[in-house]
Amino acid sequence: MIEFAANQHQHHISVPDFSFDRTTDVRRLHRMLSAYAETPLVHLGQGIYVKDESKRFGIKAFKGLGGIYAMFRIICQVLNLNPAETTFDTLLESPYHDHIRQMEFVTTTDGNHGKGVSWAAGILGCKSHVYMPKGTVEVRAQAIRDVGNAEVTITEMRYDDCVAWTRELAKEKGWHLIQDTSWPGYEEVPLWIMQGYTTLFYEAISQMKAKPTHIFLQAGVGAMAGAIAAAALETYPAHPPIIATVEPKEVACFFESFERADGLPHPATGSCQTIMAGLNCAVPCTLAWDILSGCAVGGLACDDEVTCHGIRLLHKAGITAGESGAVTAGLVDALLCNPTYKEMKHQLRLTDDAVILLINTEGDTDPENYQRIIAEADHDETGAD
């Protein structure tokens, strides 16, 4: 099942903080990393391109792009260093490294953001504390520990309650909060995280043979979706691509906000029960909402079978995609192939000559569930319904 809520307040916006020129320092930083390499762009046919972030930095997700850039900026701010000139070699020298080793970072995560923070802490030699919501499988927590330097705790709180608790814990302990969502008064660090994500977009458009006409973007809190949308607007200001958010039906804060049509962000009201753990976030990031409420054509909400279908489709194409990574592939296949969604396809202006950019945001972050899904026979040859 797929539902669509049109954005009644769509209008032209410009977000220069995400332009190619403004994000030069982001790419400079990423290219300093020995693990850096452009991730593949896979052409699935029918004008569909998938940016495969399961190959990013060896951590199976794009989140390291934002985590390392934000941590770098926080460190530069604390040590009074110019981020446009500072290198990793500088930070690993005395007296800077002595200070960095004493710094502690904290975050809440559904999985991949915490993995990026842990990985960045391991590179920079500092400490991190990562808290995860109830229902998180232990394999996701262990993956965070394995990639870097993090103390990881699975809590009994829902994601958004955990974010609020972590925020207070940072104040109490004097730790540096590095959260990938924003609220009034906490916007600088989320902006750096979001700017970090733009590297994948600028890689993708340099790899594509044509300008994308459509970009479908997974939205948990919306940080990645907002960043990519903003970069697309800055790249193609005269004729921007059609942009839509994609969420699980049971935790769809952007979809529900578009559906209420009052121009304001609203928390999701669903059960928050979905296999798309990385998208299980009920409250929109304010920075992301400011962008997407202007430029997105609307939001799509999908049930779990849509992403299961996407996982199997991408597996057949040689792409390993986790539950949050594959939902847009399952969605687009349904829109293009299932006559049930003919009207929705028309609303999204998906024509035969469309050039569609998707992002596989993660690999098999829950390997056991991944193997179970790909072993199941696809229930519908014409697309998930």
CA separation for the pair 133, 176 (Å, rounded): 20
In this structure, the answer to whether residues 213 and 162 fall within a common structural domain is: no
pLDDT of residue 384: 54
**For residues 207 and 194, is the Cβ–Cβ distance under 8 A?**
no
Residue 6 covered by a domain: yes
pLDDT at site 380: 45
Residues near 223 by beta carbon (within 8 Å), at least 6 away in sequence: 66, 180, 181, 190, 193, 194, 197, 285, 287, 288
Q: Which of 122, 150, 179 is the endpoint of a domain?
A: 179
Same-domain pairing of 130 and 48? no
At 209 the pLDDT is: 81
- pLDDT-derived band of residue 235, with 50, 70 and 90 as boundaries? very high
Task: Give CA angle at 81 (76, 82), nearest 5°.
Answer: 100
For 157, the domain range is: 65-179
pLDDT at 382 over 80: no
| DSSP 8-state assignment for residue 65 | H
Statement to judge: residues 134 and 208 lie in one domain: no
**Boundary of a domain, candidates 127, 154, 179:** 179
Clarify whether residues 261 and 327 are in a common domain.
yes
Domain boundary among 146, 179, 212: 179
Q: Do 57 and 78 fall within a single domain?
A: no
pLDDT at residue 322 tops 70: yes
What is the percentage of the chain residues whose pLDDT exceeds 90?
92
CATH value at residue 364: 3.40.50.1100
Total structural domains within the chain = 2
93 in the same domain as 12: no
Residue 383 in any domain: the answer is no
- What pLDDT digit, counting tens, does each position of 36-69 carry? 999 999 999 989 999 999 999 999 999 999 999 9
For residues 184 and 33, what is the distance between their CA atoms, to the nearest angstrom?
Answer: 33
Does residue 384 lie within any of the structural domains?
A: no
Active site residues: 63, 110
